[in-house]
Amino acid sequence: MNQPVDVRALRESLGWTQDQLAAELGLDRSSVSRLERGQKAKGPTAKMLEIIAERAGEGREGAVAPEGER
C-alpha cells in the first residue's frame, strides 16, 4: 500500500523553497502549497514526489504521512 508523501516535510528536509519544489515537479508554487495542505497528488506528480523522496534518502520513512492522516 502506498502512503502519500508529506510534501512539506520532504521539501523542508531538502532545504528547498516551494518555488524550487514547484520547478522540479513542473508545477506552480500555489499547487505545491495545496499539496502541503493535504490535496492528494495524482498521476505523474505523485510519482515525481516518490522519486524525489527516494533520491533525498527519505525513502518511504520520514517523508510519508502517518496512516490515516491523509
pTM of the model: 0.73
- What does the H/E/C string look like for 41-63? CCHHHHHHHHHHHHHCCCCCCCC
Residue 18: is its pLDDT beyond 60? yes
pLDDT tens digits, one per residue of 22-57: 999 999 999 999 999 999 998 999 899 988 988 887
Max intra-chain CA distance, the chain: 30
CATH of 7-55 given 1.10.760, 1.10.260, 1.10.3470, 2.60.40: 1.10.260
Which band of pLDDT confidence, cut at 50, 70 and 90, is reported for residue 5?
confident
Task: Check residue 37 and give its pLDDT.
Answer: 94
